[in-house]
A and B are shown apart, each in its own frame.
Chain A
Amino acid sequence: MTPAYHFDWGVVFANIGGLAKGLEITLEVALVGMAVALLLGLPVAIARLGRFRLLSWLANVYTQVLRGVPLFVFLFWVYYGIAALLSIALKPFTAATLALGLTGSAYMAEVYRGGLQAIDPGQREAALAMGLNRAQAFRSVILPQAARIILPPTVNVFVGLLKGATFVSVIGVADMFYLAQIVSLRTFTPFELYSVAGLVLVAVTTAVAGFVFVLERRLSRGRVAI
């Protein structure tokens, strides 16, 4: 047995500002990563579904490789590996958003693909028959219908990225855990700081996950079986 642990919750209040800043950074990493994933995922999905065999094959390899490698490993690969290969120093924040964004884009590509494939081919045929060109048909007929199907799994991808954003302190992003680690080395109060950081992150992730739960129920209620 180690000597009895002295609880000191004062340390949490003393560092409340730093903890809040840490949470903000975690959310920022997740949101910027999600933005990259949303932007990058769509062209990958379109390439995957497109007529060009080579592009389609490349898009497939891209999604499968990025989804097969653990995000945790990919993070190290980007931060240490790429930096060493190109001899550039990436900022931890940049590396974290890049890793999250690229992995997220592979998951989003699959989500977009599922949504686009779920739209009846007749819709596109009708749009083309009415004289819309292919880009118009995609933008104003197919995409709006696919958006509805895409929404719940998109929030699920965000939950995944949010969970991924909890461990970016391993490459030195100054989030709540980073602060907890530094302060508890000085004050020896790991339980208090890690508990608060952990509980806040659990609250955030379960809240968003709960939102998906409600969203899925809502959307499935209105759906008509075809």
Chain B
Amino acid sequence: MLLGGFRLAMLIALAAIVLAVLAGLVVALMRLSPWAPLRWIAFVYTQLFRGIALYVLIIWVYFGLAVAAGVNVAPIPAGILTLALLNSGYLSETFRAGILAVDRGQREAATALGLTPVQSFRSVIAPQAMRVVLPATGNQLVDAIKDSAILSVIGVPELLHETQRLAQFYFRPFEFYTIAGGMYLVAVFVVSFLFRILERRLAHESPVRMPRGRLFGWRGVFPGTPTPGDIEPTR
């Protein structure tokens, strides 16, 4: 039962991040658009979802808005959508910084070669920006895994929800919560490790030398620890 909850937590986090990457990309492009109103909308979107707490949003959407509008939202889709919205706010800033990190000459060269703006973004800018944003995207997935625990409050049967149920049933709270904490820790560890491997793969193919983090050891594997590959969203 714990493993079932664990699997659901991973699936929810993954689905949320996939959606957040798509939305974040759109918002990042809007923020870089030459048309001012689009930029403002994107700016407000980013600031709003980076400022709001997941618990506040999920409670409001699930217990407030849904009741008032008389719609029944299933807990899992509601949870995925909320997680995706919040993460897209952070990812849009990451993507914007990544796109801006690609040398201007690259775009100019692409234009000079006769590529349309869409072509130049897809085949020149995006592949280079991807390497830059990869570590931060990995950290975002780690955050989504940790945040998915909050979805237990709307009854999503994920890891924490199952833990609470079992802890009450057997009256062994310390053991169950410790195991749950350990499972989150392992998930975080593994995801960070996989992203670090992916980062190395891409760095190999890159014509540009990318800084390399440590593959093994606490320092390189865990999220949030500043490593040479991480980027700070520039403003």
Residues of A within 8 A of B (CB): 1-5, 7, 60-61, 64-65, 67-74, 76-77, 80-85, 107, 110, 114, 162-164, 166-167, 170, 177, 190-191, 193-195, 197-198, 201-202, 205-206, 209-210, 213, 216-217
Give the residues in chain B near A76, CB-CB below 8 Å. Answer: 160, 163-164, 173, 177
B189 within 8 A of A: yes
Assess whether A77 is in contact with B178, with CB atoms less than 8 Å apart: yes
State whether A210 and B153 are in contact (beta carbons under 8 Å apart), knowing that A72-B160, A80-B173 are contacts in the complex: no
The list of the 7 closest CB pairs from A to B, nearest first, reads A206-B51, A194-B64, A191-B68, A163-B53, A80-B173, A70-B146, A167-B55
- Cβ contact of B67, chosen from A81, A170, A190, A210, cutoff 8 A: A190
State whether A81 and B60 are in contact (beta carbons under 8 Å apart), knowing that A76-B160, A166-B55 are contacts in the complex: no
Considering residues A65, A74, A80, A81, which has the most beta carbons from chain B within 10 angstroms of its beta carbon?
A81
B37 within 8 A of A: no
Assess whether B185 is in contact with A213, with CB atoms less than 8 Å apart: no
Q: State in angstroms the CA–CA spacing of A60 and B223 once bound together.
A: 13
Q: State in angstroms the CA–CA spacing of A114 and B164 once bound together.
A: 37
Q: State in angstroms the CA–CA spacing of A195 and B59 once bound together.
A: 9
Assess whether A5 is in contact with B184, with CB atoms less than 8 Å apart: no
Q: State in angstroms the CA–CA spacing of A202 and B60 once bound together.
A: 11
Assess whether B181 is in contact with A73, with CB atoms less than 8 Å apart: yes
Closest A residue to B68 by beta carbon equals A191
Residues of B within 8 A of A (CB): 47-48, 50-57, 59-60, 63-65, 67-70, 72, 146-147, 149-150, 152-153, 160, 163-164, 167, 171-174, 177-178, 180-181, 184-185, 188-189, 218-219, 222-226, 235
Give the residues in chain A near B152, CB-CB below 8 Å. Answer: 72
State whether A198 and B181 are in contact (beta carbons under 8 Å apart), knowing that A191-B65, A191-B68, A210-B51 are contacts in the complex: no
Assess whether B235 is in contact with A216, with CB atoms less than 8 Å apart: yes
Closest A residue to B164 by beta carbon equals A76
Give the residues in chain A near B65, CB-CB below 8 Å. Answer: 191
Closest B residue to A170 by beta carbon equals B153
Give the residues in chain B near A72, CB-CB below 8 Å. Answer: 55, 146-147, 149-150, 152, 160
Name 20 extra pairs, CB < 8 A, besides A68-B188, A206-B47: A3-B70, A68-B184, A70-B146, A72-B160, A73-B163, A73-B177, A73-B180, A73-B184, A74-B181, A77-B174, A110-B224, A162-B53, A164-B53, A166-B55, A170-B153, A191-B65, A191-B67, A194-B64, A201-B53, A202-B52
Q: State in angstroms the CA–CA spacing of A213 and B93 once bound together.
A: 13
Assess whether B149 is in contact with A67, with CB atoms less than 8 Å apart: no
Closest B residue to A177 by beta carbon equals B59
State whether A68 and B222 are in contact (beta carbons under 8 Å apart), knowing that A201-B53, A209-B50 are contacts in the complex: yes
State whether A205 and B70 are in contact (beta carbons under 8 Å apart), knowing that A64-B218, A77-B177 are contacts in the complex: no
Assess whether A198 is in contact with B226, with CB atoms less than 8 Å apart: no
Q: State in angstroms the CA–CA spacing of A184 and B221 once bound together.
A: 45
Q: State in angstroms the CA–CA spacing of A190 and B188 once bound together.
A: 35
State whether A2 and B70 are in contact (beta carbons under 8 Å apart), knowing that A69-B181, A74-B181, A81-B174 are contacts in the complex: yes
Give the residues in chain A near B181, CB-CB below 8 Å. Answer: 69, 73-74, 77
Assess whether B53 is in contact with A67, with CB atoms less than 8 Å apart: no
Q: State in angstroms the CA–CA spacing of A7 and B98 once bound together.
A: 46
- Cβ contact of A4, chosen from B70, B172, B184, cutoff 8 A: B70
Closest B residue to A167 by beta carbon equals B55
- Cβ contact of B177, chosen from A7, A81, A195, A209, cutoff 8 A: A81
Offer 23 A-B interface pairs, CB within 8 angstroms, sorted by A: A2-B70, A5-B69, A67-B223, A68-B146, A68-B189, A69-B146, A74-B181, A76-B173, A81-B174, A85-B174, A107-B224, A167-B150, A177-B59, A190-B64, A191-B64, A191-B67, A194-B64, A198-B60, A202-B51, A202-B56, A209-B47, A209-B50, A210-B47
Assess whether B56 is in contact with A195, with CB atoms less than 8 Å apart: no
Closest B residue to A184 by beta carbon equals B63
The smallest beta-carbon distance between A8 and chain B, in angstroms, is: 11
- Cβ contact of A194, chosen from B63, B171, B172, B235, cutoff 8 A: B63
Assess whether B51 is in contact with A209, with CB atoms less than 8 Å apart: yes
Assess whether B149 is in contact with A70, with CB atoms less than 8 Å apart: yes
Q: State in angstroms the CA–CA spacing of A190 and B223 once bound together.
A: 37
Q: State in angstroms the CA–CA spacing of A114 and B150 once bound together.
A: 30
